[in-house]
Amino acid sequence: MPKMTKSQIAATVAEKVEIKKKQAALAIETLAALACKEAKKNGVFMVPGLGKLVLVNRPARKMIMRFGPKAGQEIDVPAKKVVKFRIAKAAKVAILGK
């Protein structure tokens, strides 16, 4: 089953909420922009019923290269910030069942 395109999502939202497709697309774009802005500023953005975007500091670590010219060598991986999406329990139950 192919994934839904942005246009298909906007059309579905527009139909359910009884608004124009352009308005639905703008709402989706606005939500995405707001999520990025708030996650960057506050470190977390909650999407009710779906989950939350969380900015996490990943500590520095050592890693053994498995492939390529450095295979078998231990290298240092520097600390960095990563973005994770944590699924809400309600969404997990709705998708997977009990």
Residue 36 identity (one-letter amino acid): C
Residues 16, 52: one domain?
no
Q: According to the model, what pLDDT value does residue 2 have?
A: 84
Residues 61, 28: one domain?
no
Q: Could you report the per-residue pLDDT of 43-77, keeping only the tens digit for each?
A: 999 999 999 999 999 999 999 999 989 899 999 99
Residues 51, 97: one domain?
yes
Q: According to the model, what pLDDT value does residue 70 have?
A: 86
Q: Could you tell me the residue range of the domain that residue 23 belongs to? A: 1-41
Instruction: Name the band, by pLDDT with cuts 50, 70 and 90, for residue 98.
Output: confident
CATH number of the domain at 97, please.
Answer: 4.10.520.10
Q: Which two tokens stand for residue 26?
A: 């703008």
Residues 96, 66: one domain?
yes
- Kindly report the pTM of this predicted structure: 0.76
Residues 78, 96: one domain?
yes
Q: What is the mean pLDDT of residues 81-85?
A: 95
Residues 25, 57: one domain?
no
What is the number of structural domains in the chain? 2
Strand order in the sheet with 80-87: 44-47, 51-58, 80-87
- pLDDT for 1 beyond 70: no
Residues 47, 20: one domain?
no
Across the chain, mean pLDDT equals 93
